[in-house]
Every structure is written in C-alpha cells, then in structure tokens.
A = this chain, B = another copy of it.
Amino acid sequence: PDLEAATTVMQREVQLTKPRGALGRLESLTEWLATWQGRTPPRVQHPRVAVFAGNHGVAALGVSAYPAAVTAQMVHNFTQGGAAVNQLCGQADADLRVYELDLDNPTADFTHGPAMSEEACARAMAYGMMAVETGIDVLCLGEMGIGNSTAAAALCLALFGGNAEDWVGPGTGLDAQGMARKAAVVAAGVAANADLLSDPLHVLRALGGYELAAIVGAIMAARMARTPVVLDGYACTAAAAVLYKLDPRALDHCIVGHLSAEPAHRRLLDAIGQEPLLTLGMRLGEGSGAALALPLLQAAVACHTGMATFAEAGVSTRGGEGRATH
C-alpha cells in the first residue's frame, strides 16, 4: 500500500468545493484506489471484468435449480454478448474476459473426498493469475458455475464454523426441500474432508472449485500488480475468504461491489469485515454486482480530479471568514 499516495489524495480532497467528508464513501474510494494503485490521481479508465467458469461434481446431487449444462451455455452467452454482465461492461466501458476451466471435467463430488487434487487446484490458481495484465486499472471478479453456491457454503462452513444451514441459501432458486438437500451436501462435504480443513488452501482444494481457485489466484496476482479488485457476490467472496483466513490483511486491496440477496453473503461479509458498495437485491453472479459498482469508482475519481478547490472557485470556506483568495 502506498500511504504517500493516500496522503496526497486526502490533502486535495479537503480543498475541494464541498463540506469536508460530504462525498462520503466516494472520498474513501478515491483514497483506496490511490493507495493500491500507488498513483495520484488514481484511474478507472481501463477496468476489466474477469469471469471464471467451472463445473462441480456436487451439481449431480440436485443442489441447483438449473442443470450443469447451463455453465457452458452461459459461457457461450457471454461470448455472444447476451448476458447481463455484457451489458454492464458496456455501460462502464470495461473489458470483459471469460475464462473457462475445463468445463467438460467437473471437480470431484466433495462428499467423498477432496474436490480437487493439490496440483489441479494450483493449476486453476495459476490460470486465474492470467486475468491480471499491465494496463488494467481495476479488476472485477466474477464466476459462473452451476453448483458453486454449494461449494461456497462448504468453504464458509469450513473457514468460519457454524452450521451448514447458516451458509446455505436458495442460489438460483431452490425451494425449502432443495435447500435442506443442499445443507446436507455441505455438511457431508465438510465431514468427508475433516482431516484437510486446518489449512485454508487445503479447504479451497477440498471444497472449492476450479473457478473459485482461479479467483483466489487472480486476487493474489492483482495485489502484486497494484491492481485494486472489486469482488462480486457470495461465491466470489467465499473464494476470497480463503485468503482472508491466511492473513486478514490479504484482502485490503479488495472491496465488495454489492450485497447479494443470497442470505449468507451478509454473514460472510461480517466475518471478513467488508461493507458492500451496493445493496440492490441482486443474486446473479457472473461478476454483475462488481461491474455495476464500477460507475461509482469512476464517479469518485471524476469528482476528485474534476472539482475546483475553494480557492480556484472563490467559494467561502466554513465559518464565514470570507472568500478564500488563493
């Protein structure tokens, strides 16, 4: 983190023609961007939205309202420009990249042992690192994977404890019976992998998935490349939580774009100390809630760079001591 850049931002911020702090979180977003980009003013001209897609062995256990084939179908939809995230990237002038992780070969059913071998998990993490490239100002992360809210719930249960029911929600639209089945699968997964769960990276390989491991890799690479990260909803944040458990400061270069309607997202955000930017009842995944937050970052930087200072505008400062004259 570049604290000097943060100081430079704060010194300008208090001179701009507004009461101190009146732009609220927009001001802290600018400071955060400068801190992690190491640049003043910070920039959000070239954002990227990276969507990772993977398939899950547990999808065969009836934990989703949609069949596993939808993962590949939606990847095709992304490439054709027909998904929500395509429209949101268009609005924010973001570059959309979709990364498929061997969709024909889902992870193993984690109720019988680890979802991934150490090697496969490491390969997926390395693949995720490719989403970080020179010239990207901000990286939004998202996922597509039928069954991955089950994997996310299992990750959260293993990382933060509680009951399976605390971390399970309707996902794409399960009824109560489906949610009970999903909770049983989550609990069985944690039980079957009990000997692996003391190390967060082993939790990831035991209960995660290829697209979730890729997100972990992307977050790590972004930190090295000074690229601030915007996380999406429940599955994406659950992947990020693996790093939080390794080191609570490991997500300081990340913010969360929105609060998902998936109920456990709130519990997870509380566990990792993050406050989402938007709360709009969305629960789509595919990076949509991260992409939708980009205009807020762009607005923050536009205010910081474009506004006049009190002196430039000839506006009186507080207390009525008259116009600032220079």
Which of A's residues lie within 8 Å of B, judged by CB?
Answer: 16-26, 65-67, 69-70, 73-74, 76-77, 80-84, 86-88, 90-92, 172-173, 261, 277-284, 288, 292, 295-296, 298-299, 302-303, 305-308, 312-316, 318-320, 323
Contacts and interface: CB of A to CB of B under 8 A. Distances in A.
Given A73-B315, A82-B308, A284 B65 contact: no
A73 B295 CA distance: 29
B22 A282 contact: yes
Given A17-B74, A76-B313, A87 B283 contact: no
14 contacts: A17-B74, A17-B82, A19-B284, A24-B280, A24-B282, A25-B280, A26-B292, A69-B320, A73-B313, A73-B316, A76-B313, A82-B312, A87-B299, A87-B302
A251 B228 CA distance: 40
Nearest to A304: B87
B87 A306 contact: yes
A142 to B, nearest CB: 13
A312 B80 CA distance: 10
A78 to B, nearest CB: 10
